[in-house]
A and B are shown apart, each in its own frame.
Chain A
């Protein structure tokens, strides 16, 4: 019963955050220097057309009224009209959502596959060669630009040794797995550099816990201790660390999509800067933030299901 209450409470807590996101996104367009109408109309600028554009954008109303208009539109799923594609921004964005979600999920899975064993083994073999090597690799990896790593991976595994496609999204589920492997790997490697150290620390902390000593004294085998106590608590920290850093994961897709020419939200965002398509920029930013909130919510719920103490608080 308390679990349900917890879930309900968390969902309710997300709502003001979502509202706040709309406020910040609303203010984004107001950052445009000069007259937005000039930017939007470009070569077709006339005083009369500008007045129309300003009225359509609601720029001639007081600020709070503009925000209400913005919010109302949002609640109806109206993200404005794309200046470049001449379609509703929502349509443009919807078409690009799937590749990004696939990429994020794929990257998360690969990151888990890389960082969990590395973190655990580093902790178990603390101070030894594996740990030291992992530490150096993590150090260098953290300082490495993701786009550079992506380019190097393309050079090595798509050009010199043609194992994977150079770019694109591919067709069909298997095609997506194939085309997105290198980009997902690039994001996963970057992500792992952050996560491995925390994982290592939490495995070490789990080992140091009293009940582990108790278990050892009771004669339970080391493997059983590893699996039952240490890993279980480590997984909790994995979930938490992943959740916290997921914003990084999502941000990473923007530049990786650009390097690997993946038709997702990230490359849409960058393209829209080049075309000064402000409504799309706004819409994509909003969507990314909503994704982060959703992922954080899911993370919290998974965390609670793995560690009942969380819900009981």
Chain B
């Protein structure tokens, strides 16, 4: 039995525990005050909150947009798109000559250095391009016409084509063809955890789930920007991102929820941006699912979905109903193709002509935590029910959803497209060409005429003739609708008004703006 002495010992133990509690409480309070002190920002650091985890920093392998846009701060390419996505500017190549009927391109490189001080040579450029081109399932098909890439001297790259290829320069400006050191080959995949960078910024720390820290590349060739450090925080939760901005812990955030745009603008210190984009939201229709092989069904779907309702409910009005599958106002975009209007009677008529006059059951794959995507799915489900089409919504994490949508065992799938180059060849190849590596946006739709046109347009160097071909391609896709084109939505960002110069181009890249940006104290 316990003696008074032992119970006193026990009591001291209790007192000790309570003291620890008090300490913890004090600790939390201290943290609160420290946090207050810490939020006084530096003027040479830019803090951005992204919504999606980083998949990799290997430019040849990226498939997640946010990572692609991050790559473009780390690596340079031969050329780069300008701020409005309409022209190409020099990057590592200062000038280039096109000869031999458009089949030989000679690039002259500047005297640039990697972040480890070694010079960027033509050999590195050749290695990088060939590596990306060779990657199975990668972007190599874009450079199908390339016969050889050589480095006659350390400052010259020569690319020879087997046939004229109109988009070559635009292709080379793509993130996939970023330049990495040829010596990185020996390090394998580990290289990309802390890559040697050819671009303005280099990686100082990487945690794919939570944060990427970048610092100025001391050897970068351009004028030193005022932003020396970039912190990219991964914050998947929409509300948290907005709150971080409101409390000034970050300088800019990606993808604020559509319904908060007006609210953000009401804050004196903040503003919301709707940057014109090349984003097209669409619904994949896998033709392995019998009803979608039937054009009548696809037309019924087109007329049975109210794109205005989607714009209103899924994007809070911040989007434009879409007609052509090509991004809004991009090169050779056809403004004459109007979005299919909502017409229930017409939809029913089309369905009646098909083999499924009473409707059918199908599933729609959507991506978890994609608020506007999820809202679109709900609207579609509700509207198609009126046609007797019963849609079962299945939610998966992003990469899992994409994998399930692409395998040929899907039915309806929610997807969006953004351009990676400023030339229409990329989107046309992906969307219209069944041999283009993406099975026509993974619908497995085959149209020989479209295939032929895409290939022809790729090699056509006369702009007027090229435009005509892309107009025809758009018309075919509009009439056949292998996938349902829904809307064009802008890139939504929100930033503090203490940030000056942050700008996102239609390809989604903001790297150029970072070089000229300033962040005032706040």
Contacts and interface: CB of A to CB of B under 8 A. Distances in A.
B31 A261 contact: no
A68 B403 CA distance: 33
Contacts of A164: 32
Interface stretch (B235-243, B462-470, B490-498, B504-512): B235-243
B257 to A, nearest CB: 14
B393 to A, nearest CB: 14
A235 B10 CA distance: 10
A274 B397 contact: yes
Interface in B1-22: 2, 4, 7, 10-11, 14, 17, 20-21
Interface stretch (A19-27, A70-78, A226-234, A247-255): A226-234
A84 B407 contact: no
B239 A274 contact: no
Contacts of B30: 174
Given A113-B21, A159-B243, A177-B24, A274 B11 contact: no
A222 B437 CA distance: 83
Contact of A178 (B14, B35, B239, B404): B35
Contacts of B17: 112
B237 A261 contact: yes
Contacts of A177: 24, 27-28, 31
A183 to B, nearest CB: 13
Given A166-B239, A232-B10, A271-B397, A42 B403 contact: yes
Contacts of A178: 28, 31-32, 35
B235 A274 contact: no
B395 interface: yes
Contacts of B237: 166-167, 261
B21 A274 contact: no
Please report whether the interface of chain B is mostly helix, strand, loop or mixed according to DSSP. Answer: helix
Contacts of A106: 24
B409 interface: yes
A127 interface: no
Give the interface size bracket for B toward A.
35 or more
B84 interface: no
A263 interface: yes
B210 interface: yes
A45 B407 CA distance: 9
Given A159-B243, A167-B240, A275 B399 contact: yes
Nearest to A261: B237
Nearest to A172: B31
B244 interface: yes
Interface in A205-252: 227-228, 231-232, 235
A43 B400 contact: no
A130 interface: no
B240 A43 contact: no
A84 B17 CA distance: 43
Nearest to A163: B32
A68 B173 CA distance: 55
Interface residues of A, number: 39
B396 interface: yes
A28 interface: no
A276 interface: yes
A113 B209 CA distance: 33
A231 B236 CA distance: 46
B412 to A, nearest CB: 16
Contact of B235 (A113, A167, A175): A167
Contacts of B24: 106, 109, 177
B403 A43 contact: yes
Interface string A282-308: 000000000000000000000000101
B408 interface: yes
Contacts of B20: 109
A80 interface: no
A223 B239 CA distance: 50
B31 A174 contact: yes
Contacts of B28: 177-178, 181
Interface string B214-244: 0000000000000000000001110110011
Contacts of B290: none
B370 to A, nearest CB: 12
- In this complex, the member of B10, B31, B243, B244 whose beta carbon has the largest number of chain A beta carbons within 10 angstroms is B31
Given A164-B32, A168-B240, A306 B10 contact: yes
Interface in A255-280: 261, 263, 271, 274-276
Interface in A157-189: 158-159, 162-169, 173-175, 177-178, 181
A43 to B, nearest CB: 2
A276 B400 contact: yes
Interface in A109-158: 109, 112-113, 154, 158
Given A43-B406, A43-B408, A109-B24, A166 B32 contact: no
B377 to A, nearest CB: 16
Given A227-B11, A231-B14, 7 more contacts: A42-B403, A112-B17, A175-B31, A261-B240, A274-B368, A274-B397, A274-B400
> Which 5 pairs show the lowest CB-CB distances between chains A and B?
A43-B407, A178-B31, A274-B397, A167-B240, A174-B31
